[in-house]
Amino acid sequence: MDIKRLNDEGRELWNQKAHFWDALHGDFGNMFHQRLVEPSVLQLLELKAGDIVLDVGCGNGAFARRLAERGALVTAFDYSEELIRLAKARGAALSAAVDFRVIDGTDEAAMLALGAGRFDGITCAMALMDMPTIDPLFRAAACLLRQGGRFVFATQHPAFNSNNPIFVHEKEDRDGVVGDHYAVKLRAYLDMPPVKGAGAPGEPAPHYYYHRSLSELLGAAFAAGFVLDGLLEPAFSADDAEASEGLSWSKLAQIPPVLSGRLRLA
Ligand SMILES: C[S@@+](CC[C@H](N)C(=O)[O-])C[C@H]1O[C@@H](n2cnc3c(N)ncnc32)[C@H](O)[C@@H]1O
């Protein structure tokens, strides 16, 4: 895999769709983010006012602003120059509380320049699966965190929501009642090459997703010296499933599309 070429192409694609993404997420993220990603990351992060936090792959800054609103001192970076420009422009008062930077999350030296032992927490919300390599990030995070600091990530659930699962809608007679039933179908889990996908319906410039099995994903963190001490698998509720139209994750209350974990240095 040509990591540099794929990473450069990814940056270009994120720059192309930055305006779409910014409009989709607004100040504090779309429904998927607000219902699944944000609560799970906040729960695992156990934020205290005054904590110094680094948000990796911050997009238009939706989650970084939420952290700042809760009293954290936030530095946030993304490799898309256009997304960082939009993050700074969105809500001057809110965004002014965040130090937004353009940094590449595969560039270990650039991340280390943020300052060894400086951060109480590092968050990475739905960005690991967009990176062709995650080893440099985990290695840098191990240096950037103070003793006792935590790295909290949310990513597409590797077992269910990785590399374009197929949504299935079936009509079935179960014990004499004909009803609608929803599922996801997977073709592979262990070895899957990167594939392009649209993160949201209508999204322009589909980018590569990098599927990693659980052992690959967590193995990269363990190799950098982390242990896992918190894990959540947020899913939509049965009420969401009842209320939602069409085929989407909100129809599947029994299958978590997100995996969130907390890592600490061993
Ligand atoms: C799905 S978005 C998530 C954005 C934000 N964290 C959120 O939850 O709304 C993924 C983000 O990761 C960023 N990203 C992907 N690869 C990156 C890299 N190598 N370095 C820094 N950011 C990267 C993209 O530009 C994009 O903003």
Instruction: List pLDDT tens digits, range 196-247.
Output: 988 788 899 999 999 999 999 999 999 999 999 999 999 999 998 888 888 8
Domains held by the chain: number: 1
- The CATH number of whichever domain residue 87 belongs to comes to 3.40.50.150
**Dihedral, CA of residue 99, residue 231, residue 24 and residue 248, to nearest 10:** 170
Cβ-contact 233, 44 below 8 angstroms: no
Cα separation of 176 and 155, whole Å? 39
Read off the pLDDT of each residue in 42-54 and give the average, rounded to a whole number. Answer: 97
Instruction: For residue 166, tell me if it sits in a domain.
Output: no
Name the residue with the closest Cα to ligand 1, atom 14. 57
pLDDT at 111 over 80: yes
Which of 8, 36, 79, 137 gets mutated to test ligand 1 (max ligand atoms within 8 A of its CB)? 79
Beta carbon of 152 within 6 Å of any ligand 1 atom = no
Distance between CA atoms of residues 131 and 209, nearest Å: 8
The Å distance, Cα 6 to ligand 1 centre, comes to 14
Q: Whose CA is nearest to atom 13 of ligand 1?
A: 57
Per the domain annotation, does 133 fall within a domain? Answer: yes
Q: What is the pLDDT of residue 1?
A: 82
The mean predicted confidence, pLDDT, of the chain is 94
pLDDT digits (tens, 9 = 90+) for 70-104: 999 999 999 999 999 999 998 666 667 899 999 99
Q: Is 83 in the pocket of ligand 1 (CB under 6 A)?
A: yes
Q: 140-160 pLDDT, tens per residue?
A: 999 999 999 999 999 999 999
Flag whether 91 is in a domain.
Answer: yes
pLDDT of residue 28: 87
Q: Convert the pLDDT of each residue in 15-47 to its tens digit.
A: 999 999 999 999 888 999 999 999 999 999 999
Atom 4 (ligand 1) nearest CA: 59
- Is the minimum distance from the CB of 104 to ligand 1 under 6 angstroms? yes
Name the 3-class secondary structure at 255: coil
HSE of 157 in the Cβ direction (CA atoms, 13 Å)? 20
With respect to residue 247, please indicate whether it lies within any of the assigned structural domains.
Answer: no
| 22 belongs to a structural domain | yes
Q: Domain containing 210: what range?
A: 3-156+194-236+256-265
pLDDT of residue 90: 86
- pTM, rounded to two decimals: 0.96
Name which of 29, 27, 50 is nearest 38 in CA terms.
29
- Whether residue 165 lies inside any domain: the answer is no
For residue 66, being part of any structural domain is answered with yes
Query: Could you tell me if the CB of 58 is within 6 A of ligand 1?
Result: yes
Instruction: Give me the pLDDT at residue 92, please.
Output: 66
> Where are any strands of DSSP class E within the chain?
52-56, 73-78, 98-102, 119-125, 145-156, 166-174, 177-185, 195-197, 207-209, 226-232, 258-265
Instruction: Fill in the DSSP letter of residue 251.
Output: G
pLDDT on residue 121: 98
* Partners of residue 170 on adjacent β-strands: 181
CA 10 to ligand 1 centroid distance, Å: 10
Residue 161 lies in a domain: no
CA distance linking residue 85 with residue 102, whole number of Å: 9
